Structure 1
Amino acid sequence: MSLVYLKRLFEESNPQNKDFADYISSIQPEYKGMIDPVEISTVQSQILTGFNSPLTTSMGRLFDAVSSLLGIKHTISFEGEAAIGLEMKIGEKLYGSLLDRNILKINKNQRYGTVLEKYNEKFVIDDFSIFTQIVNDIQHKKEKSEISFKFHNTLAQIVLDISKYVREQNNIENIALSGGVFQNTYLLDLCFELLDNNGFKVYSNFKVPVNDGGISLGQAYMASLKKIS
């Protein structure tokens, strides 16, 4: 995922006529010894042809890309491992200081700028814009903990912005936070705080798994009802 974003950034910036392999190594040195030229060539071909490259709207893939870009996790041994590593990188100090003060006072320097567009009545997040700002922070030698902090704050701000728009257009004040991304305690707490401070009623899973485990439980429940009937 990280290579896909970097490929687009490389094409748009064309830095000093660098080779793509040299370019990605200049941003994340670990890629040099980890990704061979054949793999890079394969990814480039997949981008061009779309072969075995289905479009995804999963927030988890963005977490995977950022985690790899920061050198936290390039490969995983269980679902969500890269995202967990990214969350933990924030650090207890930043996490505690955030929850000890009014969330609304977080300034724009503590998150990335965002662009939201409507396409076919759906919101589309310009994730490439966020990724570009992260690369810029890496090139300016920002700490991984600071980048992760800003990344999480950005996602929470997006949740708030979309929720405000939905309320304005449809008079909806009940917001449900669900999906595997909300296993992230930092993000869940932050979204709860932001939404609550802005007058929303917020709901999330606590007894039922918030991730795909909830789907499995629901399927088992429906199967049991059919058996009873």
Structure 2
Amino acid sequence: MPASPPDTPPSARSRGDDQRRRLLRAIGTVVAEKGYAATTIADVVREAHVSKRTFYEHFDDKLACFLESYRRGNRGLVRRMRAGAAGDGPWPERLRAALRAYLAVLVDAPAVTRTFTMEIQAAGPEALALRRRMHRATADALREIVDDVRRENPELRPLDATTAAAIVGAMTELILDAVADGRTGELERLDVPVGRLLHAVLTAPADPTEPADQGESTT
């Protein structure tokens, strides 16, 4: 949607930002309760305590609102993951801290976690394409974290794009299984198996048959 014109009073911009945030939170909550297909715009505006007119000032349709909520949520996860790795300490602890920070967000918002792990699959091809882009963004962030760790630990192997995507994919599947089984509250425990996988990749001995350009990927 277009940004507010320059002459929009600050109070009106602030009110609009608040309404948008409420709508983004509301769609995550309602979809968790009713499922994506059964959720209506009337449900969303009721939960957000705004009018339908307000909804259409911010979003073209239910899908647009849903995708923006997912996009913002994933960006928040990536920010928390980066922040988790920012402390001092041995590199395995920093990487585990990054994973725990990511997973803690999911535990703290179980309804929204269910929405964007289970119901994203019901929202159609555009939603699935966005999920792939968000997974790539998470994998890119993981590579950046590893690059930062390697500055003080050059003995570690670099994390190439394909392997980073594989690790994020494995973590995503573990999250999906836990949520489907009603074990969202246990998600933080996944830092152990995912951390072990990442540790094994970074400390694996060099393979003489491995191509020299493993830092690149077409995925």
Query: TM-score under structure 2 normalisation?
Result: 0.28
Which protein is richer in helix relative to its size?
2
Which protein is richer in strand relative to its size?
1
Query: TM-score under structure 1 normalisation?
Result: 0.28
Higher relative contact order (CA 8 A, sep 6+): 2
